Amino acid sequence: MYREFGISDETLKLAADCEAGLRDIFAEADRIAEYNQLKVLHAMQKNRVSEECFRTSTGYGHNDYGRDTLERVYADVFRTENALVRPQITCGTHAIATALFAVLRPGDELLCPAGRPYDTLHEVIGIRDSAGSLKEYGVSYREVGLKEDGSFDYDAIRAAVNDKTKLVEIQRSRGYSERRSFSVAEIGELIRFIKDIRSDILVMVDNCYGEFTEVREPSEAGADMVAGSLIKNPGGGLVPTGGYICGTDECIRQCAVRLTAPGLGQEIGANLGILPAFYQGLFMAPVVVAGAVKSAALASAVFKELGFFVTPGPEETRHDIIQAVRMEKPALLEAFCLGIQEAAPVDAFVTPVPSPMEGYADDIIMAAGTFVAGSSIELSADGPLRPPYTVFYQGGLSYYHGKAGVLKAAERVRAAL
């Protein structure tokens, strides 16, 4: 079948050798998936998920039993007091922006102690001027970069905290940067450090791409809120749209009135009949994430063998599903993306080209042929057109699909070298 798929014996042999070297890494991913599968199952049973939960609601969505139960399930999975899990949260950026606007007031300061946040948040915060940003509402922003070795700069963080500091945002995943992703243990240590300086400072973790890559979530390590997208990890590839915020009851209530309206809060929001996918996607997510983690490790090993700088390295412990490969040349970045596109079940015949994109400063090239538009828990690769032309590979609903993508990308890149 691989030959029919255009994969040379040489590339296939390379992948087989890499897989053999990754046996322990794969076993660890399976062990994490096994734990998280039971975590999700237990949360569903504890909250008595029943057929009643799959009913459609329309209009205001008052007394939506399925929606309310799903939010209790999420709260239990993330070990928080409350959760907001909604199709009305349009994406990850919206979930994070909702959390920021929910707790920050004019005169407050937002602190990012672990480097610049994800591109789409720059306009939310006002790092790039934008209508409706936190900056426009009189919320100031402070940032502390990482140290040379990628660790937290604790001295600088201590110096950056002041009387106005209200909320700290920490991004778990690397996003479109080459920094490491942070483990839940590292994030927990940073949270303890900040709460030791002032215990009333709130901490929100951008959990995008990190969910279920470890047995614990940042909300189990002291974060007041974690937020993310349902067309990434926790949607398991099945959720058509939405986002989540899990956290303390007080924070989530504030998020709910920001999302809907003061006085309405969490009580409204019709489910429009798509709740079964929310439950089923969460149920599948641990296994889907394990497949994505394994194929990311394979991509790392294969492209390292081909001579590229990869991060994380094949044997490094992973805290998100993203694999970065420094392609060095625009043509190689495009070749990688073409290979991923050719491995898609949908739109395999189209050629990805770089173009401007809402919320991003540079042109972006994106390869994906997904069942859910824009879903990046499905096999996808993207990167901004700026040196060193790093491609970010992620997703794959099964390991075998991820592997097919890695092999096609390797074939295309080798031809373009």
Ligand X SMILES: *Cc1c(COP(=O)(O)O)cnc(C)c1O
8 Å CB contact between 108 and 164: yes
- Judged by CB under 6 A, the residue of 77, 91, 125, 268 near ligand X is 91
Applying CB under 6 A, does 18 fall inside the site for ligand X?
A: no
Q: Is 268 in the site for ligand X (CB under 6 A)?
A: no
Q: How far is the CB of 117 from ligand X (least distance, A)?
A: 7
**209 forms part of the interface with ligand X (CB under 6 A):** yes
Q: At what angle do helices 399-416 and 275-305 cross, to 10 degrees?
A: 40
User: Residue with structure tokens 């067309």?
Assistant: 231
Determine whether 333 is exposed, middle or buried from the number of CB atoms within 10 Å of its CB (0-12, 13-18, 19+).
buried
Look at phi and psi of residue 103 and say left if phi exceeds 0, alpha if psi is from -120 to 50, else beta. alpha
Q: What DSSP state is assigned to residue 135?
A: G
**Using CB under 6 A, which of 187, 208, 225, 226 touches ligand X?**
208
Can residue 321 be called a binding residue for ligand X (CB under 6 A)? no
To which H or E segment does residue 348 belong?
Answer: none
Among 54, 101, 118, 336, which residue interacts with ligand X (rule: CB under 6 A)? 118
57, 165, 173, 311: which one binds ligand X (CB under 6 A) = 173
Among the candidate windows 23-31, 170-178, 279-287, 334-342, which touches ligand X by CB under 6 A?
A: 170-178
Interacting span for ligand X (CB under 6 A) from 62-70, 104-112, 204-212, 274-282: 204-212
Looking at the Cβ atoms of 19 and 123, the one nearer to ligand X is 123
Give the nearest distance from C-beta 92 to ligand X in angstroms: 2
Query: Which burial class, exposed, middle or buried, applies to 320 when counting CB atoms under 10 A from its CB (0-12, 13-18, 19+)?
Result: buried
Would you count residue 92 as binding ligand X (CB under 6 A)? yes
* Encoded amino acid at 365, one letter: I
Of the residues 80, 88, 93, 375, which one makes contact with ligand X according to CB under 6 A: 93
Q: Which residues contact 98 (CB under 8 A, 6 or more apart)?
A: 84, 89, 227, 243, 245, 255, 258, 259
- Cβ atoms of residues 215 and 32 within 8 Å: yes
Q: Nearer to ligand X by C-beta: 22 or 397?
A: 397
> Which one of residues 76, 109, 206, 334 is an interface residue with ligand X (CB under 6 A)?
206
Q: What is the DSSP string of 157-182?
A: HHHH--TTEEEEEEE-S--SSSSPPP
Stretch in the footprint of ligand X (CB under 6 A) among 4-12, 72-80, 169-177, 381-389? 169-177
Q: How far is the CB of 91 from ligand X (least distance, A)?
A: 3
Q: Should residue 218 be labelled a site residue for ligand X when binding is judged by CB under 6 A?
A: no
Exactly one of 69, 120, 213, 219 binds ligand X (CB under 6 A); that residue is: 120
d(Cα 109, Cα 163) in Å, to the nearest integer?
A: 9
92-103 helix and 249-259 helix, angle to the nearest 10 degrees? 110
Q: Which stretch binds ligand X (CB under 6 A): 129-137, 202-210, 281-289, 301-309?
A: 202-210
Phi/psi-derived region of residue 269, left when phi > 0, alpha when psi is between -120 and 50, beta in every other case: left
CB of 249 to ligand X, least distance (A): 24
Residues that bind ligand X (CB under 6 A): 91-93, 118, 120, 171, 173, 175, 206, 208-209, 229
